[in-house]
Chains A and B, each alone.
Chain A
């Protein structure tokens, strides 16, 4: 559809613009506009320190959105993000309380808990054919219930290990926060998987038409299952990083990541119906969302206003380029 609409104008443009997905281009254009608006408000918006700080904050969302994107590419959705994030953070911190072995295994244990949540989602979606939206809501509720029972309804007292803090706030390369490096590594791995492996092609295939993918010999159920497990694991890893950043886990730390992660993926031009989208778009979406949040908080907008602007911006941008074709 986009080819026919943009074909006339795009024909006369240089190649790199023609190749770009209009959605990704729009998202990057919006980032530039946001930065310009911000710099009108305060001069420090274009300083390298501020931009690096934003990139660091964005990397937590980036890790979580990477998993979300994989699931959205399948044409599914993962609504268990909030408590997968919280469970990853809490379980990693909890493991740290069990002596040196616990400290060493804290991060893998946290991620594994997320993978477990993802596997339950995957079994439900792939093998029991339950709509992903429903089963992930249910596992989210179960994960919440488990965490409430475990913590007794309060934020846990265990604190993050030094390794978690180092991953989230340290500097291995001078000037570049570790969190950004981690996001870059995970992003590179995801790009490799999506574009250079059979698994990646299968993901796009299933997103386009699962029936066709199945008939061409792909074990679609296994692919869906793995994708959900990866998504759960990445959400939990995002939680581990967040716990390292704040040095402890909190009850509702994941709530603030559900809408942004979906929004980042969708604003980056990935079709919510699956089968179409690029990781570059997700990167643009993540940065866009983070900048928007940052600008709103710099302007000391209260929570209420932030929520409203946030929802309006997402709907507006989706109306710009995320519409389904009309029924004929």
Chain B
């Protein structure tokens, strides 16, 4: 096989997610009453970017063949925290941002430590830590409220040069300074190797523990960036159980749509980003076609069900029935 065909095979999931997103967004903007304008793009970008950050976070963990069911709660916790801290003079705001991101890192590190060094199953461990993070969020914000540095918020949710949505630019920056270095680093490769075959990676002397730990920790950081942006969009903090859970759920949907294998070792955060944007656009299609918003949860649920069932097509290629049982 030629070099480019390898590349194509490797990027198939990402390209598919990109194609789905383009098609969905074309339908969305074509039927939007305002049409394809900078305003429509900005609103869509602001909504999509939140899920994109959380989906990136989920990708990092899923690549190691784990899952983080506390990701939505880290998102909620950092949102509540930002509504207290990211306020005041420039220096205070900067301190607040650092504190919020640090909290995210810490939450991710705790998850990683429990799963990797405590050797607990990721599902149970992260459900339990999710309860803790939600409790902390409730402690910070028993009732919705708080505020945020509005200059910074408006800057990061507005537009550059009147065209480019700032939130998309921020997403790009985060991809460049978090995802790309991770993907290219030795530990990033170790995370992939651990997800692909932990035993083989261990036998080859790959630093799987450090790789997985880094993946969980960075996932916390990315979820915190998402929480920070949620605060910028809403100007408040709210410890909402349902919304935290929904983000966890949607992040998994976005990851699956983005071509990341839930069995680990395959996929990229770029794919998950397009998966997230596509998922959001599909959810919003209902609005441009004037459906009752009550149908939205059902619609999103069905999309999710279809998305996860698509993976089953691989079964048709199985020649030996024993390969059903991995």
A binds B: yes
Binding site for B on A (CB under 8 A): 77, 124, 128-131, 133-135, 137-146, 148-149, 152-153, 210-211, 214-215, 220, 252, 255, 258-259, 262-263, 266, 272-273, 302-312, 314-315, 318-319, 322-327
Docked complex Cα distance between A143 and B101 (Å) = 35
Question: Which 4 pairs, one residue from A and one from B, show the smallest C-beta to C-beta distance?
Answer: A145-B298, A307-B135, A141-B301, A308-B135
Could you say which of B123, B131, B296 has the most chain A C-beta atoms within 10 Å of its C-beta? B131
Q: Which residues of A contact B198 (CB under 8 A)?
A: 327
Size band of the B side of the interface?
35 or more
- Asked whether A144 lies within 8 Å of B129 as measured between CB atoms, the reply is no
26 pairs across A/B with beta carbons < 8 Å?
Answer: A129-B312, A133-B67, A135-B305, A137-B252, A138-B304, A141-B300, A142-B298, A142-B304, A145-B300, A145-B302, A148-B297, A149-B298, A153-B294, A211-B322, A214-B322, A259-B128, A304-B137, A304-B142, A305-B139, A306-B135, A312-B132, A314-B131, A315-B129, A318-B118, A319-B118, A323-B119
Contact with A along B303-324 (1 / 0, CB 8 A): 0110011011001000001101
Task: Determine whether the beta carbon of A262 is less than 8 Å from that of B127.
Answer: yes
Residue numbers in A under 8 Å from B301 (CB-CB): 138, 140-145
Chain B residues in 8 Å Cβ range of A137: 249, 252, 304
What's the dominant secondary structure at chain A's contact region?
helix
A129 touches B315 (CB 8 A): yes
Q: Which residues of B contact A (CB under 8 A)?
A: 67, 114, 118-121, 123-125, 127-132, 134-139, 142, 198-199, 202, 241-242, 245, 249, 252-253, 256, 262-263, 294-302, 304-305, 308-309, 311-312, 315, 321-322, 324-325
CB-based nearest B residue for A214:
B325
Task: State A154–B42 Cα separation when bound (angstroms).
Answer: 32
Since A133-B67, A137-B304 are in contact, a sample of 13 more A-B pairs with Cβ atoms closer than 8 Å, ordered by chain A residue number, is A140-B249, A149-B297, A214-B324, A214-B325, A304-B136, A309-B135, A311-B130, A311-B135, A312-B132, A315-B128, A315-B129, A319-B114, A323-B120
Q: How close is A306's CB to chain B, nearest CB, in angstroms?
A: 7
Closest chain B residue to A137, Cβ basis: B249
